[in-house]
Structure 1
């Protein structure tokens, strides 16, 4: 019933790094230059689209600038590539989602700011991306049981703030479906220096993600660093080359997690969780190939996403449950895992 107020990087190569390129060699395209009001009340979607279009056509590295000290109201917007050169979205002010539900179409209530087929994208700036989350949580079907089945579950990323030390995302522990960072269908991604507090996965890594490196992330509360869920609705999943390094988890439900539905196909392979510190985590290490987040119980299936070549290395800390390691693996596919 509500949109995914999030940054969705699909088929993109995203480097979420604090430092941009040399400003002397860049072309800067400010939203204000394209008629943005920046008062938080008037629609500035067109201004963002026009500044992106100019950056997209730039023959040299370009910056789309969200100026400091102002609030830019946005409806659903898709920023497309491929661009002629690298593009940096520098958010110094605030991007805020429209709070009016009529601004979101029935065909797409799950997205807000979407990047498609964009290579060499950097997001930085120290500003705020505000999804107006409190407006949408009551309409999640996980809270409002009268919400129509089959509609969006109201996934929300309410606040993304990036400072010199990285970025932080904050949602209450009770907020529904608030994945902090969601990565899918993306290659060669680096995520570093993040602090995430949320009511769902701090990071969710899903189908089509290859060569991902995550480092220096602090998570809690939340559901941990999750690969999956994969293979839902009998789908095929392909995930490989995932490294999670130097991560802290405080009071999270899970730590290092892989979750797949029965009945799926494909693979999740070459995965390393290392140098992780966990404090008061319920399930520090968990692989669950019988994951089921459906209204009805999931029935036993013979096929599954194959999980292989998984390494857990130098993981330390405390757990609030008896078993620190849980392996609920499929009976039908082989696995190779190591816990040095």
Structure 2
């Protein structure tokens, strides 16, 4: 009896002690929630990082100098590509953001909350969860108006985070998100965002040339561990699209296809951490923007998907594109007219059409591009490596371009300048052309597809290319042992080191008409 009494007493004491501990923990949790931001963890990095350079053949390049294009976007003292900042929130390491399956919805979100600390409203960050504005996230319902309402509230509310939560699939029609906002807004995509499924599902009164547009969105950050899925498959199959079948024929008719993400007349933009796939046309496009940083994004679409450029830049100044992986059916990165100070580093590209400047000068237009750097890149299984392409009859100039430390893996045209770019055959020969000068190729190594020469410089009959510099280029055939001869046409420059293959077709010095040509330069 005495033993049983002792056992009961110990059991009661243990139970009382455990209750006290649970209450203590519960009290601590309540106290902590008043002074912290309860947000999802930081998003995981892209699943496929850029391939490392072969240290025995492609040594790393020095870090950009403080005044190099793109190096001063986030700090005036920066000497390297801007590091990936810690996001406000992001997805976990699960696979929900990599699937287009419709997830099981969570309970409805609460109303927008103030996530500030210590009651200091001037430093607070408000979370605008799109579910609080009526978004369902079942992949079927139209969530466009909810996203627009969340944007307006976040834009007018000072420092805010528009949250697209993980575990949901949101369907949005063509929409324009307009600023300027009270302060820099963070558009946090941790779930899946998708458009209507193909041209037949696209509302008739919606713009068919663009899907998600950010206009005058100064200071905005678009980030997260989620997925923007353009659902472009049915757009690619329109009869007007170029098909690579037996006949390769196209049919007349409406051919407009939307760009997935377009930024227009905006400054101080950041895009990072996202996965973007299967856009009907360009994946990301910047028009008339300034001070843009793109970091650690992944863009994917099939190799034969038409006109699916990864990142397109036009009439835009000071852009840094870093640490990203792009695989698509057109140019990985395309640089259009009016582009100034573009810095591209640590990008893995392909299969694709390579990294291209152009096309420029179409329909006798004037095109101006200057101060472009592509450094520490890998281009694999692509139609082109680094390319400059212009139409005949144009005017303006391309100048101060540097391609450095680039690894080629089975690329059909590793180095190419094409001033006879033409989509229809034959194209009439014209006397005017965009002037190309001051282009350098340094430490470009790897293999090429033997169907084309590894180096192709096809310059205008009347406006030759000048000041072309080649240093430490080594390109070997990926099949067989016969090294193809480079092709040169009306190009002036110098090979500063012994290259493989030897480039003996460059013309020395400068053409007689150089003074007239120099006068045509934009800068």
- TM class, shorter-length: 0.7 to 0.9
| Aligned residue number for residue 180 of structure 2 | 82
1:222 alignment partner, SS class: coil
Distance 1:330 1:233 in 2: 16
| Aligned residue number for residue 9 of structure 1 | none
What pairs with 1:7-18 in structure 2 (closer than 5 Å)?
Answer: 18=84
Distance 2:348 2:278 in 1: 18
Shift of residue 302, structure 1, vs aligned partner: 1.7
| Aligned residue number for residue 308 of structure 1 | 437
Distance 1:265 1:36 in 2: 49
Q: TM-score, normalised by structure 2?
A: 0.57
Distance 1:105 1:301 in 2: 41
- CA contact 2:278–2:302 (8 Å) conserved in 1: no
CA-to-partner distance for each residue in 1:180-221, whole Å, 9 max, x for gaps?
222222222222121111111111111222222111111111
| Aligned residue number for residue 192 of structure 2 | 94
CA RMSD, 1 decimal: 2.7
- CA contact 1:141–1:148 (8 Å) conserved in 2: no
Distance 2:317 2:400 in 1: 14
Q: 1:190 aligns with which of 279, 303, 320?
A: 320
Shift of residue 289, structure 1, vs aligned partner: 0.9
- CA contact 2:87–2:223 (8 Å) conserved in 1: no
- CA contact 1:155–1:177 (8 Å) conserved in 2: no
CA-to-partner distance for each residue in 1:254-276, whole Å, 9 max, x for gaps?
11111111112222222221111
2:151 alignment partner, SS class: helix
Higher RCO structure, 1 or 2 (CA under 8 Å, sep 6+): 1
Q: 1:148 aligns with which of 234, 249, 253?
A: 253
Normalized per residue, the structure richer in strand is 1
2:330 alignment partner, SS class: coil
- CA contact 1:194–1:217 (8 Å) conserved in 2: yes
State whether structure 2 residue 107 is matched by structure 1 residue 19.
Answer: no
Shift of residue 106, structure 1, vs aligned partner: 7.5
| Aligned residue number for residue 235 of structure 2 | 136
| Aligned residue number for residue 40 of structure 1 | 139
Shift of residue 142, structure 1, vs aligned partner: 1.0
Question: Higher mean Cα deviation, 315-324 or 239-248?
Answer: 315-324
2:210 alignment partner, SS class: coil
Shift of residue 17, structure 1, vs aligned partner: 7.6
Shift of residue 69, structure 1, vs aligned partner: 1.0
- CA contact 1:209–1:240 (8 Å) conserved in 2: yes
State whether structure 2 residue 274 is matched by structure 1 residue 158.
Answer: no
- CA contact 1:187–1:209 (8 Å) conserved in 2: yes
Aligned pair count reads: 321
State whether structure 2 residue 168 is matched by structure 1 residue 59.
Answer: no
Q: 1:320 aligns with which of 424, 433, 449?
A: 449
| Aligned residue number for residue 262 of structure 1 | 392
- CA contact 1:57–1:84 (8 Å) conserved in 2: yes
Distance 2:387 2:433 in 1: 17
- CA contact 2:210–2:258 (8 Å) conserved in 1: no
What pairs with 1:171-320 in structure 2 (closer than 5 Å)?
Answer: 171-294=301-424, 296-320=425-449
| Aligned residue number for residue 119 of structure 1 | 218
CA-to-partner distance for each residue in 1:119-154, whole Å, 9 max, x for gaps?
3332221110101111211115213722427x4367
Distance 1:90 1:17 in 2: 18
Shift of residue 241, structure 1, vs aligned partner: 2.1
- Pick the structure with greater CA Rg: 2
Q: TM-score, normalised by structure 1?
A: 0.85
Change in Cα spacing, 1:234 to 1:56, as seen in structure 2 (3 Å) is farther
Distance 2:188 2:408 in 1: 33
Change in Cα spacing, 1:22 to 1:171, as seen in structure 2 (3 Å) is closer
Distance 1:154 1:223 in 2: 20
Unaligned runs of 5+ in 2: 1-72, 75-81, 90-115, 117-122, 244-248, 261-276, 285-294, 472-523
| Aligned residue number for residue 460 of structure 2 | 330
Change in Cα spacing, 1:18 to 1:297, as seen in structure 2 (3 Å) is farther
Distance 1:307 1:82 in 2: 38
Distance 1:280 1:100 in 2: 34
Distance 1:95 1:256 in 2: 32
- CA contact 2:411–2:448 (8 Å) conserved in 1: yes
1:277 alignment partner, SS class: strand
CA-to-partner distance for each residue in 1:282-337, whole Å, 9 max, x for gaps?
1111011111124x532112222222222212211111226221111122335332
Shift of residue 97, structure 1, vs aligned partner: 1.2
1:336 alignment partner, SS class: strand
- CA contact 2:211–2:258 (8 Å) conserved in 1: no
| Aligned residue number for residue 10 of structure 1 | none
